[in-house]
């Protein structure tokens, strides 16, 4: 049985964009084909949680080669998108000049497929925040179904 979602999505307007690409760029240094977040739906500093999304397009750089004729979002890109969401949260929460770089992944499970046309909802909840390390539980959801989960470990860079 899949775990409970980190944030109750039924209480959120999933079409509401609290912060778009320009706001995300203020927090994350990623550009061009590696901007894997399209928007932030919900930022909650009290609950240490954030929800964002990625609209998966059919013209993305990986589509042609990652299963020709049946493109699937590579799992590593889902993990990267979740890490970018965590980086966004830390930058906004701590208001530092550093961004949160990848320090590791743990307990990653893929539970479904993500394809062009899907809206991948990304959820993250901070479980540890110390000077040199932040840890987040993360999840990805498409059409109400959990498609991946994992722990993102970040280090300030």
Distance between CA 41 and CA 104 in Å, rounded? Answer: 25
From the list 16, 30, 42, 66, the catalytic residue is 66
| Burial of 138 from C-beta contacts in 10 A (0-12 / 13-18 / 19+) | buried
Active site residue 66: yes
Q: Which two tokens stand for residue 119?
A: 């809206």
Residue 38 CA to residue 60 CA, distance in Å, equals 13
| Residues 154, 83 contacting (CB under 8 angstroms) | yes
Q: Which residues of 1-19 are buried (b: 16+ CB within 10 A; e: fewer)?
A: eeeebbbebeeeeeeeeeb
Active site residues: 66
């Amino acid at each position: 049985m899949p775990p409970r979602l980190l944030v109750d999505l039924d209480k959120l307007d999933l079409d509401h964009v609290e912060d778009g690409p320009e706001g995300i760029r203020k927090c994350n240094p990623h550009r061009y084909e590696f901007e894997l977040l399209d928007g932030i739906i919900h930022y909650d500093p009290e609950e240490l949680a954030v929800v964002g999304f990625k609209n998966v397009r059919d013209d993305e750089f990986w589509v042609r080669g990652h299963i020709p004729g049946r493109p699937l979002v590579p799992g590593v890109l889902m993990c990267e998108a979740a890490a970018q969401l965590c980086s966004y949260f830390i930058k906004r929460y701590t208001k530092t000049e550093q961004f949160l770089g990848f320090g590791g992944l743990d307990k990653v499970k893929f539970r479904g497929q993500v394809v062009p046309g899907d809206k991948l909802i990304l959820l993250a909840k901070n479980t540890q925040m110390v000077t040199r390390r932040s840890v987040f539980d993360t999840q990805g959801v498409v059409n109400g179904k959990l498609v991946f989960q994992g722990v993102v470990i970040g280090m300030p860079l």
